[in-house]
Structure 1
Amino acid sequence: MAEKLYYKYWGKAGADDVRNNSYHLLPYHCLDVAAVGWQLLKPDMPLCKQLAKQLEIEPEWLRTLFVFCLALHDLGKFARAFQGLRQDLSVDLVKANSRMSYSERHDSLGFCLWQETLQTKLLEQPPSNESAGNEWLSHLEPWLEIVTGHHGMPPKTNLRTRNFFEVEDEQAAMAFVQDAIALFLGDFDFKPLLDKALKKRLKPASWQLAGVAVLADWLGSNQDHFKYCDKPKDLNVYWREIALKKAVNAVNALPKTPGVSAFQGVKSLFDFIQEPTPLQKYAVNEPLTEQPQLFILEDVTGAGKTEAALILTQRLMTQGLADGLYIALPTMATANAMYKRLGDVYRKFYQSGCEPSLILAHGARELSQAFQDSVVLAKQSIIDGDYLNGKNEEDQELSATAYCNAWLADSRKKALLADVGVGTLDQALLAVLPARHQSLRLLGLGRKVLLVDEVHAYDSYMQKLLDALLEAHARQGGSVILLSATLPQTMRETLVKAFHNGLGQAAPTLSDPAQYPLATHTPAATVEQQIDTREAVKRTVNIQRLNSEDEVIAQIRIAVAAGHCVCWIRNTVKAARQSYQDLLDAGIDANRLSLFHSRFAMIDRQEIENRTLQYFGDGSTPEHRKGQVLIATQVVEQSLDLDFDVMITDLAPIDLIIQRAGRLMRHIRDAQGNRIRQEGVKDQRGTPTLYLFSPHPVEDADANWLKPDHTGTQAIYPHIGQLWLTAKHLVGRGRFAMPDDARDLIEGVYSFDAEAEIPDVLLDGSMQATSKTMAQKSMADLNVLKLNKGYTRSSGDWDEETRIPTRLTEEETVSVALAILENGQLKPYAKAEPYAWALSTVKLPEHEWKKAQQQIPENLKSLIETLKVEQKALRWVEVLPLEERQVIYSSRHGFIG
């Protein structure tokens, strides 16, 4: 029997400096990947069952068809242009064609080969199954679009294949497809494939299937399991005797999903809870349904929302609706704090003896060694050669192995595949943006509860992306828990509607105005339930307006003299730095004064964060707290468990003011500041007073109402009308009670009716802010994936994830590594290993960096270039040498400029 043409094509090749002349035949690699897919889509596993249910087909049918498609995922490698990338492998392989340049990736080439050539030729062939005919072939295109997009983006279309394939290549690909049909689809029932309704249902399911294709390709490229084979062997024999057996080992090498432990009550998770809060009791007793569900928990700071959410998470897992959890937070600092809280709890979700993984996901993830130690992943000892597609590193087409290694080395992405992930919301939002490998993020979230904390804290752009994420997560069978101290009614309605869009259901009508505290649960028999809150956090807060910075400083001096600890939250870094200096000038002891903002090098920021928690956190003592003053920006506003005797805040929107007030007398203490942990005991420090640094909200406010003392505030919070309404409600009341007044305050600023109260002169500024909000939403609509189109190139403007924004900022920020000059060499500012350069990095607004850059002496610029060559980690980072004569940065002030 003549040898098949397709045995003359290589699919994987060893790196030429590692294993010369070693290669794996293309048909075998295709079968390796198909065999991994066979294991990943076992019909009795949740993933296959959920996808089959969504597609309204049998799990076994889905498995067979998709595995056949996976066998065709690398059709593009039959291109002579691709084969010519390695001419050093064997004389038995096809010869290179110098006229054919490999200028398009093999994933797109494979899909275009099917569209342009193979489908037409196969339709002309006698059908392999007489009863089925050939019509099914014309329905295969969207399935092949999914599998050929296995490098993290959908394939391009309408490429001219003749520029890349010789006639012999097309013949080889044709022969392989025909043999794959015989191997996988001999007695297959093609009727479901002919149903046009299936094509429509495939579009929303295609995103998860694309993730399966990426994962199958990565695992099928692992030489630890799939050794290279360059000798022709019958496909049926290779499939049964090698590919299927090796795929079992490859999939079994993945970390096992640990067995879920049944919920045994609050004490089983949190032994420190003596008496559950009303919200926690709700989490224990609320009936769950058998389908994906959304919870929105709104309660005051200190009501135990996080614990309630974790109780619900374990109950949802016990119900079989999830295997794990991803907690999404607004900032790195809040993610770090959440990790510490989760450290003792997450193992209790699972049966004893299991090894569940916990991973951190944010921009400085490698700086927390505890997270690095929490997951063990098999290292791949043998690597494939990369497919060089250009001279620059960014243009290089990485092999599946190289992609896999890069992905697993980046714990921001790995967190979505770990059993329990903690990180910023940004990492989850990338699942609904046209960023490479978004499908794997979505797949990783699929069997997890998505828990989003501080859900009110995001701008209109991120809110719109969050809506898309909720819709996508509900569609793939995921449940969601959202936490907030306070949510505007319109935002709550939008979130509920997005989730129900994913379920394909109409959203329930929510009460207006809603009660507070409130638990929203949908779909459910009772969607909204007003919840009581625990007595310890019910309180009245007095409001006292301070008109000038001199009045603020005088108030701080009075508090320090009385031995109280104080926090002044300023809206800008510039204002915080100036106030810190003003307080030093006013005679406040430098040892009692701290500054905390976002422009510190990571090593200093970590130290400041730890010191802040030590001096003002739950375990702080009277000795720590006495007379201490913290000048901070919004970095202390959310999720950090801090408690101050005196709180002063710049004017900000009402929800943020309420959030800041949550750090005022947060813990129950005696008059000296000792922590009291008995239930039912009142705080002994007197009635809390929130000092509001704000102009008077006069009815005839003019356009300069905030200027000049609050110009920075208006830059950060441009909706001046909402600021005026906030000041009016707070100053007018003179106090507010929590939780009783929370909903009135929020709706009094954010409702449509409230806008009518804003003075006409301030409406211009407010309209500009509203226009900006609309522009942010439009930008989100432009950027977010068109999920209803399915996994196709036209569903988004695809790019590498580093170029896809999860947040919009007024100005681009620049990562700058601080360096010091020692013996003629630039060394990292941070004296720490192994991440000295990462710990030396600070994020600066672009205009600040440009000013600083101009101060770098010419003689140091060549040293910087040399350093960047030596230190790969600095390739995409700017470097700023710190000279003794310049005071541009200090560990106490941060970046000064």
Structure 2
Amino acid sequence: MTAVPPDTPSYFDLRLWAKERGLHGQRYPYVCHALDSVAAALEIWDACLPQGLRHRISTGLGVAEPHARSLIAFWAGCHDTGKLVRHFQEQVPTDLAAYPTEPGEQKGHALVTAEWLTTALPKLGYTDDEYVAALVAQLLGGHHGVYPAPLDEFRDPFTGFGFAQGLWEEQRERAMLLAHELSGAPAPPSRLETPAAALICGLVILADWLVSQEHFILEQLRTPPADGSRASLRGHYERSRAALPALVTSAGLGPLTVSPATFTESFPNLTTPNGLQESLARHLPKLCTEGGLVLITAPPGEGKTEAALHTSDLLGKATGRDGRFVALPTMATADHMHTRLREYATRRATTSAPLALLHSMAWLNPDYAPAPPPPGTSTVLSGTRENSGSGAVRSAFDITEWLLGNKRGLLASWSVGTIDQALMAALPSRHNAVRMFGLAGKVVVIDEVHSVDPYMQTLLERLLHWLGAFGTPVVLLSATVHHSTANALVEAYLQGSRGRKRRRSEPRPVPSIQYPGWLHVHPGTGAVSANPEPVPTTERRPLTVDLAPVPLDGGRADRAAVLHEQLAPLVEEGGCAAVICTTVAEAQATRDLLAEWFAKVDAAGGRAPELHLLHARFPQEQRTAITDQIITRFGKEGAEQGKRPESAVVVATQVIEQSLDLDVDLLVTDLAPVGLLLQRAGRCWRHEHLGTVARPPWSRGPRMAVLVPAEEDSAKHLPRSWGFVYPPSLLMRTHNLLRRRASAPVRVPEDVQTLVDDLHDDETLIEDVAIDIRRLGEEMALRAHGRNAVIPTVKQLGDDLHPLTAVDFELGEHFLATRFGADSVRVLCCYEDRWGRRWLDSEQTRPLPEPGPRGRVEHEDLRAVISRTIPLRADHHTQPPLAEANRVPESWAEEFHLRDLVMLVHGVADDGTVTPARLGERALFLSTVNGLEEAKEK
């Protein structure tokens, strides 16, 4: 370096810039952005990072927490050093005549950062363990979401990367040294564990995102440093430090915390905890002092959600993890849980912060993400809901605009979402570090763990492995989990937390599952502690399971006679029933069948039952409305407030079998694997213990009628659609299992675990060996796909972060999918009049929106379009190039949410008659009562 004194005005060249986009022609000096990043990292550590996460990172560095804080701030200040090269600076006109041309090739600035730091960090003492310098360089090189590959060890440590001594090197070194000084001049760490490196990368990315906001930079430019002296830039740094608390608060990154409380204090609306809840509240605090994993198994309606929330509070307090993430199987269940968690936070929170809802359609929910207020209006947040002046009602738990940005939702202290949001952290996706960082400081709750297929289970196991490595507590919930699944999940977590696989000589961690019950897994010793005494449960009447044979008609189940037989008492005397069909098409046909019957009842002077239909192929806004109505009418609220129908039938697909609070007198369901049948049965007489549900005379106890093949040989008489959705061997095993019971009632909970385990373990249930072997082969293939898709284990990763974001795209994009073979597209049904004008509604009151003056579709128009979209399984007709009629308007090509939609254009005649849309050889029609269906032939 030159001998220029640090306080010389020209010590730092303020012409060298880091930001210019959105700054109205101004450029933001590189060194200012570097010091902003130092300030941001310090503020994040102090104000946002839970104590447990600070401890985990410090342990991974082998230093005390204050030292770790300084190290991360210093590294954050170096993340953009790769911008101090000619080819980056010349992207905007700059006088660089005095700067020499370095011989290096043009590369992305993140990679240049990694390369340069391997040459520069040794000058600050990073020499005892060379891998530490290399790993620091690699994690900072990953701040744009992708870790660079390891650098060539045989390359010259300086000139081999194209760097040269001179003015460029002086500026890079001066900026690094100033960041080092202002962050406390931390000495190099004694080690750097890979999990800690990944978390630090996430923190650096967050710091960079915060101080890269245009409004923050423009505010900083109002009082720019007077010159490039160290004294002037120190003043800039102090101004950044003063501005960061407000910036963090406005982004919504503060912690949402709860105070210690008993179960009764947490849920004052429950008079006393039930047996499961009381057992956890009494025994778990002594076991979970170091966190760990808790598995809770109990029948539907047994209060697992309340038990999980209280368990999360205990684990969070023990491990210093303020955050929460609750993972659900579907968007509908996530929406419902978001409401419940918000109510819980309203009662329990001691500090306020946003509560995020994470799935692809969350932004459509106006209660969660209202439209942005008009320019110039301000929103005041408080503990109570207030009007912002723009018509939007806000509260202390509402999401911020910043957190609604792409990939940011998991950074909220508390969040609810689909399980996919968590599983993405186990895939080598861009910004993997942000997802890991967002989960690591939380207690992670995963509901319905039994519902994952072998592919998703492989992803879940790898996620649990990394959560174990981070010391993140986990709560798993299930009503029907097989013991082999429980063992696989627990072993994955222990492998991460203990750093090694189970030895062959060691017993499996979960020899058996007490049902109902819970178990705790110690993260360090691997000790598994189950509930020490039997858990008393809500008294339930035995479940009557009747097998109702259905004949086949052209390979389809002919339900007409069976439904007439099963539902006749309801039609005559009232009551509520649910009919669950395997596919959407079957649910639509069943609704039509019942509608025709009920119309005849009305015509004969009777009083036909209400008829509801719910499946995934309704427009989003209609499906949400139907779900809300069903929960209100058939759930706890309906029973307590007199909203329950006197007579009604809900026809649905599997969407109602998980996490939805429904109570019916009778359940009629297609054959499915026994665990799912028991899950569905949880909707039958669900709230009997409340004493508020009026039952019809014919309903003397919970009863489930299972539609099964009419012939003894199930293999040859399964409806084709059933075998397409579920493995035929499991359907046959379930049929034989139920048939062997000879209609004996199922005692809940006493018989549940035995039935779930026997489905897979009892070889006497095999009806067709070849089909059973085929299922096992398919499961092995799904697990193999999962193993090829997931990120490595900590041990496999070694000292190289690159595989965490290295995707082999030649293998296919499905390797980044959280659900194998479930590819879908979103279709938009629109209506075209005889003049070729297109409308969102058949009444032709709302035209297809066009971009406004700024070239973008307005927010409310965008919401109106997406809320009308429908998921549809992808096939060759939905892949580019689409037929002309199925393509979105050219003006939508730049709209992220609109450009990949598939249009289903219905014709509208002058008399209002609507004709079906075409998609390849298919004719599809959007019915107001049935949703999107195959057009019926005339």
Question: What TM-score results when the alignment is normalised by the length of structure 2?
Answer: 0.80
1:373 Cα offset (Å): 5.9
Tell me, yes or no, if structure 1 residue 744 matches structure 2 residue 754. Answer: yes
1:539 Cα offset (Å): 2.6
Secondary structure of the corresponding residue to residue 903 of structure 2 = strand
Tell me, yes or no, if structure 1 residue 216 matches structure 2 residue 207. Answer: yes
1:438 Cα offset (Å): 2.1
For 1:95 and 1:173, locate their aligned partners in 2 and report how far apart those are by CA, in whole Å. Answer: 10
- The change in CA–CA distance for 1:406 and 1:310 in structure 2 (over 3 A counts) is closer
**Equivalent of residue 565 in structure 1, options 555, 576, 581:** 576
For 2:265 and 2:813, locate their aligned partners in 1 and report how far apart those are by CA, in whole Å. Answer: 42
1:271 Cα offset (Å): 2.4
1:604 Cα offset (Å): 1.5
For 2:740 and 2:294, locate their aligned partners in 1 and report how far apart those are by CA, in whole Å. Answer: 34
1:616 Cα offset (Å): 1.9
For 1:441 and 1:623, locate their aligned partners in 2 and report how far apart those are by CA, in whole Å. Answer: 42
Tell me, yes or no, if structure 1 residue 626 matches structure 2 residue 646. Answer: yes
For 1:62 and 1:853, locate their aligned partners in 2 and report how far apart those are by CA, in whole Å. Answer: 53
- The change in CA–CA distance for 1:758 and 1:379 in structure 2 (over 3 A counts) is farther
Secondary structure of the corresponding residue to residue 140 of structure 1 = helix
1:167 Cα offset (Å): 5.8
1:277 Cα offset (Å): 0.6
Query: Which residue in the other structure is 2:168 paired with?
Result: 172
**Equivalent of residue 875 in structure 1, options 868, 889, 899:** 899
Kept in 2, the 8 Å contact 1:79–1:169? The answer is no
**Equivalent of residue 29 in structure 1, options 15, 24, 33:** 33
Kept in 2, the 8 Å contact 1:361–1:411? The answer is no
1:825 Cα offset (Å): 3.4
Query: Which residue in the other structure is 2:604 paired with?
Result: none
- The change in CA–CA distance for 1:152 and 1:46 in structure 2 (over 3 A counts) is same
- The change in CA–CA distance for 1:672 and 1:75 in structure 2 (over 3 A counts) is closer
* AA in 1 matched with 2:452: Y
Query: Which residue in the other structure is 1:237 paired with?
Result: 231
For 1:467 and 1:60, locate their aligned partners in 2 and report how far apart those are by CA, in whole Å. Answer: 34
Tell me, yes or no, if structure 1 residue 726 matches structure 2 residue 720. Answer: no
Moved more, 543-552 or 234-243: 234-243
The Cα offsets for residues 489-548 of structure 1, whole Å up to 9 and x where unpaired, read as: 111111111221222167785453433112111219761126656654423111111111
Tell me, yes or no, if structure 1 residue 493 matches structure 2 residue 493. Answer: no
Q: How does 1:342-421 map to 2 (within 5 A)?
A: 342-351=341-350, 354-372=351-369, 408=402, 410=404, 413-421=407-415
Kept in 2, the 8 Å contact 1:613–1:642? The answer is yes
Q: How does 1:49-64 map to 2 (within 5 A)?
A: 49-64=55-70
Secondary structure of the corresponding residue to residue 205 of structure 2 = helix
Query: Which residue in the other structure is 1:502 paired with?
Result: 496
* Uncovered stretches (5+) of structure 1, i.e. residues with no partner: 382-404, 677-682
Q: How does 1:740-889 map to 2 (within 5 A)?
A: 740-751=750-761, 754-755=762-763, 757-759=765-767, 762-788=768-794, 789=797, 792-798=801-807, 805-810=816-821, 812-821=823-832, 824-829=836-841, 833=860, 835-847=863-875, 850=878, 864-869=888-893, 873-884=897-908, 885-887=914-916, 888-889=925-926
Query: Which residue in the other structure is 2:259 paired with?
Result: 262
The Cα offsets for residues 836-875 of structure 1, whole Å up to 9 and x where unpaired, read as: 0111100111239649998x8x6x678x424525866311
1:93 Cα offset (Å): 7.4
For 1:247 and 1:452, locate their aligned partners in 2 and report how far apart those are by CA, in whole Å. Answer: 38
Query: Which residue in the other structure is 2:322 paired with?
Result: 323
For 2:589 and 2:879, locate their aligned partners in 1 and report how far apart those are by CA, in whole Å. Answer: 19
- The change in CA–CA distance for 1:591 and 1:601 in structure 2 (over 3 A counts) is farther
Kept in 1, the 8 Å contact 2:50–2:441? The answer is no
Q: Aligned residues, how many?
A: 830
The Cα offsets for residues 561-615 of structure 1, whole Å up to 9 and x where unpaired, read as: 2312221111111221222223334455687322211111112211221222233
For 2:823 and 2:186, locate their aligned partners in 1 and report how far apart those are by CA, in whole Å. Answer: 55
The Cα offsets for residues 303-337 of structure 1, whole Å up to 9 and x where unpaired, read as: 11111111122233344532121110000111111
* AA in 1 matched with 2:634: F
Query: Which residue in the other structure is 2:114 paired with?
Result: 111
* AA in 2 matched with 1:561: E
Kept in 1, the 8 Å contact 2:574–2:609? The answer is no
- The change in CA–CA distance for 1:375 and 1:806 in structure 2 (over 3 A counts) is farther
Kept in 1, the 8 Å contact 2:327–2:417? The answer is yes
* AA in 1 matched with 2:757: E
Query: Which residue in the other structure is 2:291 paired with?
Result: 292
Q: How does 1:604-619 map to 2 (within 5 A)?
A: 604-619=622-637
* AA in 2 matched with 1:614: T
Kept in 1, the 8 Å contact 2:663–2:686? The answer is yes
1:13 Cα offset (Å): 3.4
Kept in 1, the 8 Å contact 2:14–2:31? The answer is no
* AA in 2 matched with 1:109: V
- The change in CA–CA distance for 1:437 and 1:775 in structure 2 (over 3 A counts) is same
Secondary structure of the corresponding residue to residue 895 of structure 1 = strand
Tell me, yes or no, if structure 1 residue 39 matches structure 2 residue 43. Answer: yes
For 1:407 and 1:292, locate their aligned partners in 2 and report how far apart those are by CA, in whole Å. Answer: 33
For 1:871 and 1:810, locate their aligned partners in 2 and report how far apart those are by CA, in whole Å. Answer: 27
1:72 Cα offset (Å): 2.4
Kept in 2, the 8 Å contact 1:655–1:746? The answer is yes
The Cα offsets for residues 334-372 of structure 1, whole Å up to 9 and x where unpaired, read as: 111112222321133322xx3232121112101212222
Query: Which residue in the other structure is 1:679 paired with?
Result: none
Moved more, 650-659 or 507-516: 507-516
For 1:379 and 1:82, locate their aligned partners in 2 and report how far apart those are by CA, in whole Å. Answer: 36
- The change in CA–CA distance for 1:894 and 1:849 in structure 2 (over 3 A counts) is farther
Secondary structure of the corresponding residue to residue 445 of structure 2 = strand
Query: Which residue in the other structure is 1:704 paired with?
Result: 716
For 2:480 and 2:751, locate their aligned partners in 1 and report how far apart those are by CA, in whole Å. Answer: 11
Moved more, 461-470 or 528-537: 528-537
**Equivalent of residue 580 in structure 1, options 582, 585, 591:** 591
* AA in 2 matched with 1:896: E
Kept in 2, the 8 Å contact 1:645–1:685? The answer is yes
For 2:769 and 2:137, locate their aligned partners in 1 and report how far apart those are by CA, in whole Å. Answer: 54
* AA in 2 matched with 1:704: K
The Cα offsets for residues 14-54 of structure 1, whole Å up to 9 and x where unpaired, read as: 337x522x112223322321232233345995543321123
Secondary structure of the corresponding residue to residue 286 of structure 1 = helix
1:435 Cα offset (Å): 1.6
For 1:207 and 1:427, locate their aligned partners in 2 and report how far apart those are by CA, in whole Å. Answer: 18
- The change in CA–CA distance for 1:607 and 1:531 in structure 2 (over 3 A counts) is farther
Query: Which residue in the other structure is 2:920 paired with?
Result: none
For 1:114 and 1:852, locate their aligned partners in 2 and report how far apart those are by CA, in whole Å. Answer: 44
* Root-mean-square deviation over aligned CA pairs: 4.0
1:380 Cα offset (Å): 14
Kept in 1, the 8 Å contact 2:620–2:868? The answer is yes
The Cα offsets for residues 239-284 of structure 1, whole Å up to 9 and x where unpaired, read as: 5322244134224531364574433333322222122110110232
For 2:97 and 2:161, locate their aligned partners in 1 and report how far apart those are by CA, in whole Å. Answer: 15
Query: Which residue in the other structure is 1:538 paired with?
Result: 540
Kept in 1, the 8 Å contact 2:103–2:162? The answer is no
- The change in CA–CA distance for 1:513 and 1:696 in structure 2 (over 3 A counts) is farther
Kept in 1, the 8 Å contact 2:104–2:162? The answer is no
Moved more, 488-497 or 799-808: 799-808
- The change in CA–CA distance for 1:367 and 1:428 in structure 2 (over 3 A counts) is same
| Percent identity of equivalent pairs | 24
For 1:876 and 1:169, locate their aligned partners in 2 and report how far apart those are by CA, in whole Å. Answer: 49
- The change in CA–CA distance for 1:9 and 1:876 in structure 2 (over 3 A counts) is farther
* AA in 1 matched with 2:825: V
For 2:328 and 2:406, locate their aligned partners in 1 and report how far apart those are by CA, in whole Å. Answer: 13
Query: Which residue in the other structure is 2:694 paired with?
Result: 674
1:56 Cα offset (Å): 2.7
